[in-house]
Amino acid sequence: MDIKSAQFVISNTDFNKCPAPVLPEYAFIGRSNVGKSSLINMLCVRKDMAKTSGKPGKTQLINHFIINQNWYLVDLPGYGYAQVSRDKRDKWDQFIKEYIVNRPNLMCMMVLIDARLEPQRVDLEFIQWLGENGIPFVLVFTKMDKLTKTKIAANLKNYKNELATTWEIMPEMYYTSAEEKTGRTELLAFIDESNKLFQKP
């Protein structure tokens, strides 16, 4: 897929105010500071389409971008630790889950996982919640360039072993680095194929 255009559409905290669900949609989410904004910018070949920050909790709204005028990319707030109040985190959790469960044109959740880390409970719990609610998702491992190949391989093996305790079939997985621009072709190819399956609600 060639990204010819990528434009911001709207930000809000209410799924009812999202754009009309007439185009396929892909939502990106992960633990705070997982590298989500950097990955989105890399995919769309934009330096600042999604705002990046070293401080967790930068994204605080449901952000819609229209890509090539035929599908939506959605940048969601991170879950887990962020330097905001517990009350605000609870509000994020509520409107994020309302969006995920009620959005009829949501083709897939892109769950970002930091490849440098051992399996994190908050990630595993969110993945389990998606499964229990029948939400399609894939795992997108980020920051693949930050550790040695041996250490990365060990971390990925640990993740697969952990998932195997509750999943009979492994979720589809993608491996990316925003710095080295790896994984872009594979992710966009997945979205391109998924778009062909979209039917208007």
Query: In the chain, what are the domain boundaries?
Result: 6-195
Task: Please give the Cα distance from 18 to 99 (Å, whole number).
Answer: 9
Task: Please give the Cα distance from 97 to 13 (Å, whole number).
Answer: 11
What does the pLDDT read at residue 56?
Answer: 42
Q: Render each residue's pLDDT in the chain as its tens digit; 201 residues.
A: 999 999 999 999 889 999 999 999 999 999 888 999 899 999 998 876 765 444 444 457 899 999 999 999 999 988 765 555 666 666 767 889 999 999 999 999 999 999 999 899 999 999 999 999 999 999 999 999 998 989 989 999 999 999 999 999 999 999 999 999 999 999 999 999 999 999 987
What does the pLDDT read at residue 88?
Answer: 60
Q: Which CATH architecture has domain 6-195?
A: 3-Layer(aba) Sandwich (3.40)
Distance of CA 96 to the CA centre of its chain: 12
What does the pLDDT read at residue 58?
Answer: 47
Task: Please give the Cα distance from 52 to 46 (Å, whole number).
Answer: 12
pTM: 0.90
Q: 34, 118 in Cβ contact below 8 A?
A: no
Residues whose CB is less than 8 angstroms from the CB of residue 19 and which lie 6 or more positions away in sequence, other chains included: 9, 10, 64, 66, 72
Single-letter amino acid, residue 148: T
**Beta-ladder partners of 29:** 111
What does the pLDDT read at residue 83?
Answer: 58
- Identify the DSSP state of 31: B
